[in-house]
Chain A
């Protein structure tokens, strides 16, 4: 990509006593929208705290825009928690965030109105935050992260609790700020659909390990000669019989989804006969389409299999 990475982690570890929350995590991401994915307890929140400089790594290091010292003024952060002052009006809260970022009161108020206009907050900005709906609170939280015009936005679950139209609107805003205003956005979420909709790059964490760090296209886009087989019957022997062709599995209870990568379509018949001869029953054998869900679960299952 030839640019300075927005975030670069090198062998980043964070331990709390005997518990390792992040284990030797290394990745680098570039300007754009970056999806930070992982199940609960994966280490996403800890990674965000380390990026924000609110925690110190046990080992390894982080650079932001090529610098090791975190410049909080360059970062806008939208926390997952409500984190509002209910007795403040919307525009006052955003201006307060601006003042904390170093803007003068007058400038903070002007920026607050600009951003809230941009987010279509209308007259609602003059109401107290305690009276806001979830969607409006998410917008105000996004506005306070943007008020000082940061280069990097870190958003923790920005679409949590939103109904589908509000969620789409939020994702549209994120795309607008990234594409039109050139901001880099780290989007930490559980919602794979959100990531697939707007992200350019993906970092996948699980149990403190970095399972993938690449462009979204690389993770889900190039599906040439990739197939999904749903295998019932003797699933374990069937998967073993596939050997290195298997790039991931997903246990579905009565059957297993197996993701395979082969050299050419000519191998398909051979693969099917391998499964059948191992005692497996093929329920479905289809070409794999670009789907983040499948790729994500395949990564998690692959990690699980490696542990076993």
Chain B
């Protein structure tokens, strides 16, 4: 009972103090903001050229022509074949279907190229580690950790309080960044944001737990977190086969795959994203977050304060 009381006290005090005091001026923050601006600029330029569709892409398994060429060819064939009503009707139907596909293709093209690849594979881990690694890492560097440990509150409460304090920042920064990219992409992007904000928020929480653990318990945490983000999330996450299941992004993609499949849009066929149901993917992500939270609490309680004064 005494422990619970001081645990709640520790969480409450740490959370209250640190909730509005995330360190936003450090170098990693500016790197994250820079990448957001860079990607947003690319998205704006693609939107400006009206390229969020299959116009410049080739249909699956078809070499040579892209969708736009196909429509032009069908129209040319229709003209060349003259006034045969049957042929003309078939050509019009195919051409119409292709045009319809092109108009509606903005969402899958944006999702595949921006959300699946750039956002989940690179930007999201970077944004999350920006705040999560700094959480207790800055306490360690600022030597406030030793001071905090001298207070009669359990170390676990400091860990949980700090984690809860950085969580809103991580989620707001992640969803805010996603929203900026979505707005830059226009209607397709906004549709994707409305459909996918929940898996992105869930992935942010999971990343926050992983990177917070690293910041609290490992030396040179920023470097290790960056290495993890690039090796596991960017490289392994985009590998074919089951290796990608090691990344957090995989489970977010599974949820997105299911959500878009429910609407009749199949994203990234053959990526293995259909093997996990939404519920399973959510459980996996929450499980990873919880596992790192518990591991963090355990190891943080064992930290030796050598060299700290």
Contacts and interface: CB of A to CB of B under 8 A. Distances in A.
Contact of A16 (B143, B144, B149, B306): B306
A49 B144 CA distance: 14
Interface residues of A, number: 27
Contacts, number: 66
Interface stretch (A75-83, A179-187, A223-231): A75-83
Interface residues of B, number: 23
Interface stretch (B9-17, B108-116, B120-128): B9-17
Given A96-B13, A100-B9, A82 B309 contact: no
Interface string B1-29: 00000100110110001000100000000
A193 interface: no
B146 A73 contact: no
Most buried by B among A71, A83, A88, A102: A83
B151 A82 contact: no
Given A81-B309, A156-B309, A100 B21 contact: no
A97 interface: yes
A47 to B, nearest CB: 12
A100 B13 CA distance: 6
A102 B151 CA distance: 9
B309 A73 contact: no
A48 to B, nearest CB: 8
Contact of B309 (A45, A75, A102): A45
A248 to B, nearest CB: 29
A87 interface: yes
A83 B141 CA distance: 9
Interface in A53-80: 54-55, 71-73, 75, 77, 79-80
A55 B9 contact: no
Nearest to B157: A100
15 contacts: A49-B305, A52-B150, A54-B149, A72-B151, A72-B152, A81-B309, A83-B143, A83-B147, A84-B142, A88-B17, A96-B17, A97-B151, A100-B10, A100-B151, A100-B152
